[in-house]
Amino acid sequence: MKNSEFPLIFEKSRRGRKAANLPECDVPYTSPEELIGAEHLRSRLPLPEVSELDVVRHFTHLSQRNYAIDLGLYPLGSCTMKYNPKVNEKAASIPGFASLHPLQPEETAQGALALMYDLQKMLAEISGFDATTLQPSAGAHGELCAMMMVKAYHASRGEAHRNVVVIPDAAHGTNPASAARCGFKVKGVISNSKGCTDLDSLQKALAGGNIAAFMLTNPNTVGLFESEIEKICEMVHEAGGLVYCDGANMNAMLGLTRPGDMGFDVMHFNLHKTFSTPHGGGGPGCGAVSVKACLEPFLPVPTIEKVTAKIGEEESEATYRFIQNRPQSIGRIHSFYGAFLIAVRAYTYIRSLGAKGIRGVGENAVLNANYVRARLADHYEVAYGNRTCMHEVVLSAAKLKQLHGVRALDISKRLMDYGYHPPTNYFPLIVPEALMIEPTETESKQTLDEFIEVMIKISQEAVETPDLLTTAPHVTLVSRLDETAAVKNLDLRYEPLFENNNPI
Amino acid sequence: MANVPDNLKYSKTHEWVSIEGEIATIGITDHAQEEMGDIVYLSLPDIGRTLAFDEQFGEVESVKAVSELFSPLTGEVIETNTAIGNTTEIVNEDPYGNGWLMKIKLSNPSEMTDLLDAASYTQFAEEGGH
């Protein structure tokens, strides 16, 4: 169906059409005017009047226009679009979890508290830290939470003057935003010719003094491991700062190495990336934050405590309780206890894999990315040289653009014709015409081979028939959208037509 | 390849400069606008602000990313191109003409010698300087 033939649900509306017939009211009737007050009632409320079948067809059609990991490979770099096992959903729908009310007494929700407590322990164990909070809603919220703790930490030591946060030029844009939101001044550090943090540049930034923290993604956004990480942490600590790990790329390290052991003081996780909870869609998320002991007093409230008592020689069954009274805490950052059912999914994922399985995730994520890199290296330029990468590989279309006028964007659009979601484009900013591919560990060699063959074919098309790329996609419902108009003249609201106060 | 007029000077941060007496007109290069893609928002400095060499004077947002603008010379802002307004596509279409960004009164004209000429800038841009 062409876009123009796809009406809004408002346009399907017919006056008086209903999805359900209610039985006659069997309690005394009270008018809405009396109950709510006429001044609060709208006479014109043009909600769509449609049948149940209209609704079902409308949203089923919309869902068919979506692309999802359940349909095919989704190599969107930095986003870790791995498959989310259905057992996660099964666990999250167990009535004992799904029907909990956040205000019910904690002694009636001991299983839920135990799950959160154990997940915090598991995340701390996996990353090499001492304590964890599950409160933040997402990665950037985790960053903000961490920066608030960094600020409180320095203030508690009488060093509130530390107001500089140092960030590499390859960082996710949320890093400087989170630091600035906490009132820190942001200082940049450049990357060296190997695509890693330039130590001279870092030294220079640190020498400026008042260092509160250094925020680093490891493996970094070029998909490379910061091999000087121990030295970097040492330099920042010497300057009196804390080192923050943006855990967006934790997938590459699972079971293989731990940020806490490298010298990081605090990190956030994106449970939707590394621990297979649903991505985005405006739904709930969790950007858990783990800290070293020095930051533990500042964790947001409530925290969870496990209490056991000795009864003679026996240890009693553990009970769990929320702790609200923590004088040094940065306070609440989320209503109630974070996105609990997301925690259930991540817990299920970790428990169903086990320690060995978790390590396999890290190994296969790295192996898959390197397989793609090795097979595409003859056809595309690999950013910062064709070296072993971590969980993702960054290609550059700079040469294709120069020689054939084909940009990263055009390659991505052409991939859609072959049924793939495009990789991340134009990020990191330090790589011109960047194409960032992250296959994740959940894809088979056969799937990767099919994708690689398509990428090779597109590289040939770029030379032989570049127009095919610059006008792609050709088979999708809509082709190139006018992104500029979408930004400048954003129009999201349907304005119904009225006649005599009645919708037409 | 992008258009690089011979009569202008260039910075490594992709601004162009045209000098008349002690007044410099500044904009972004054709190469820069091409790299960024369609520009959708632009912020320019207040009149009277003194800019140091390499100081950030504004931001330009395209459909791809937000980039910072850096002053290629030291001086006081005497005029900004208010005609651009919401029609930011002017900067894409005519970066060296109607898409100019600001005029500054130079306080250190000797800095001019540090800028690139057209040939050097072309080479810098072709080598992937960004």
CATH 3.90.1150.10 for domain A354-488, yes or no, is yes
- The answer to whether A488 contacts B65, with C-beta atoms less than 8 Å apart, is no
Residue B10 within any structural domain of the chain: no
Q: What range does the domain containing B103 cover? A: 22-108
- Name the burial class of residue A237, with classes exposed (0-12), middle (13-18) and buried (19+) by CB atoms within 10 angstroms of its CB: middle
In total, how many domains does chain B have? 1
- The answer to whether B38 contacts A483, with C-beta atoms less than 8 Å apart, is yes
- The answer to whether A488 contacts B35, with C-beta atoms less than 8 Å apart, is no
Q: Report the amino acid identity of residue A292.
A: K
Distance from CA of A109 to the nearest CA of B (A): 46
A35 CB within 8 Å of a chain B CB = no
Residue B11 within any structural domain of the chain: no
Residue B101 within any structural domain of the chain: yes
Of A379, A418, A372, A373, nearest to A397 by C-alpha is A379
- Measured distance CA(B83)–CA(A275) in Å, rounded: 51
Task: Tell me the per-residue pLDDT of B33-61, one tens digit each, with 9 for 90 and over.
Answer: 998 889 999 999 999 999 999 899 999 99
Q: How many Å is the Cα radius of gyration of chain B?
A: 13
Residue B116 within any structural domain of the chain: no
**Other C-beta atoms lying within 10 Å of the C-beta of residue A89:** 14
CATH number of the domain bearing residue B70: 2.40.50.100
Determine which of A1-10, A175-184, A190-199, A263-272 has the lowest per-residue pLDDT on average.
Answer: A1-10
Distance from CA of A489 to the nearest CA of B (A): 10
Q: Is the dihedral of CA A411, A416, A418, A421 positive or negative?
A: positive
Distance from CA of A226 to the nearest CA of B (A): 22
B-contacting residues in A 424-483 (Cβ below 8 Å): 425-426, 429-430, 432, 483
Name the residue of chain B whose CA is nearest to A485's CA. Answer: B40
- Give me A463's structure tokens: 């030379």
Residue B72 within any structural domain of the chain: yes
Q: Which residues on chain B are in Cβ contact (under 8 Å) with A429? A: 65
Query: According to the model, what pLDDT value does residue A1 have?
Result: 47
Residue pair A344/A97 in contact (Cβ under 8 Å)? The answer is: yes
Residue B104 within any structural domain of the chain: yes
Residue pair A440/A81 in contact (Cβ under 8 Å)? The answer is: yes
Sequence-separated contacts (24+) of B35-39 with Cβ below 8 Å: B35/A432, B35/B130, B36/B60, B36/B62, B36/B64, B36/B65, B36/B67, B37/B62, B37/B63, B37/B64, B38/A483, B38/A484, B38/B62, B38/B63, B38/B89, B38/B92, B39/B88, B39/B89, B39/B91, B39/B92
A108 CB within 8 Å of a chain B CB = no
**Partners of A155 in the β-ladder:** none
The residue-averaged pLDDT of A57-81 equals 92
Q: How much is the pTM?
A: 0.87
Residue pair A301/A329 in contact (Cβ under 8 Å)? The answer is: yes
Task: Tell me the per-residue pLDDT of A114-154, one tens digit each, with 9 for 90 and over.
Answer: 999 999 999 999 999 999 999 999 999 999 999 999 999 99
Q: Which residues on chain A are in Cβ contact (under 8 Å) with B35? A: 432
Residue of A432, A484, A488 lying closest to B130 (CB–CB): A432
Sequence-separated contacts (24+) of B123-126 with Cβ below 8 Å: B124/B10, B124/B12, B125/B2, B125/B4, B125/B14, B125/B29, B125/B31, B126/A402, B126/B1
Residues of chain A with CATH 3.90.1150.10: 354-488
Residue B93 within any structural domain of the chain: yes
∠ CA A141-A353-A420, nearest 5°, is 65
Task: Tell me the per-residue pLDDT of B98-126, one tens digit each, with 9 for 90 and over.
Answer: 999 999 999 998 898 899 999 999 999 88
Residue B117 within any structural domain of the chain: no
Query: According to the model, what pLDDT value does residue A284 have?
Result: 83
Q: Which of A483, A489, A490 to mutate to test the interface with B (most CBs of B within 10 A)?
A: A483
**Other C-beta atoms lying within 10 Å of the C-beta of residue A323:** 12
Q: A86-350: what fold?
A: Aspartate Aminotransferase; domain 2 (3.40.640)
Task: Tell me the per-residue pLDDT of A332-351, one tens digit each, with 9 for 90 and over.
Answer: 999 999 999 999 999 999 99
